[in-house]
Amino acid sequence: MYPFIGKDNHVLIVWGDSVDPNKLKDVVENLKQLVGPSGKVSLENAGRLSLASHAASSFDVVLSGVFFPQSIVHSVQQLGEVARIVKPQGTVVLQEATVLQNNEKSLKTVEKLHTTLKLAGFIDIKEPKSISLNENERETLKAVFNTSESLNIVEIQCKKPNFEIGSSAVLPFAKNIAATKPPSEVAAVWKLDSLDDDFETIDSDTLLDDSDLKKPDPSSLKVCGTTGKRKACKNCTCGLAEELESETAGQPKQSNQIQTSACGNCYLGDAFRCASCPYLGMPAFKPGEKVQLSNNQLKADV
């Protein structure tokens, strides 16, 4: 039957619909005699091949659709499952009905079937062999596929590569390239040895004295609104806005010996002064320093 099937082989037969069970049984019995008691012959329907969960690389030979009527149309997914369960260098033989030209149906041409086998990962794809059919068998095939086109049955034999899916190998030109690692001293270049006597660091805390750490009195920083026309800032937080509001309401003025500023930033200079600050245009001064304003500066520009 198939000369490549020998003793101790594990053979899987994938059959399609409308296959004569008696003929299938006879072929299985003949194959069991070829493989012997240590071999194994298994049967699987094409529609349940992916559901059977066969172990990977468990069959030496896979025969798919080799019984009349050849109703199996091998897809890339089905052939991919066959490639998974067949052993490396295992043999796959399939038969399929083909057409002369591509059509909208699932039937393929011989060239497209050859391409599908390549996409599934098979190698050593041999030239297709035509299977002779009589007139009655041709009409039966047309009825199975519900077509009026002329159908031809071809048999193709191929092999699985001598490696598993996902395996890796060193490229020939890479064998001569010695593996190089960066020297261990590279990382040490960027490290500073704090125990080195020649290396001195400055403690930043020693640069500050007690006067730098002392928090100033906020009242000494507030000088806005103490001369000229008092006007609170938009976001007043010093209490001047409340004081002016209480004066407008007729409440008695609260005595405050220390004049406060509306913003507390007048002494810093124009960059920190309010738009209505009377000190605009004057140089910066120390907090609490008495500053005399001229009459021109107290008058609003009209």
Cβ proximity of 155 and 95 under 8 Å: yes
Residue 290, classed as helix, strand or coil, is coil
CA pair distance 177, 173, nearest whole angstrom: 8
DSSP 8-state class, residue 282? S
Q: What are phi and psi of 145, to 5 degrees?
A: -95, 0
Place of tokens 């000369």: 3
274 is in an annotated binding site: yes
158 is in an annotated binding site: no
CA pair distance 212, 215, nearest whole angstrom: 8
DSSP string over 209-232: -HHHHSPPPHHHH--TTSSSS---
CA pair distance 186, 130, nearest whole angstrom: 68
CA pair distance 5, 251, nearest whole angstrom: 115
Token readout for 91 is: 């043999």
What are the binding residues for [2Fe-2S] cluster? 224, 233, 236, 238
What are the binding residues for [4Fe-4S] cluster? 263, 266, 274, 277
What are the binding residues? 224, 233, 236, 238, 263, 266, 274, 277
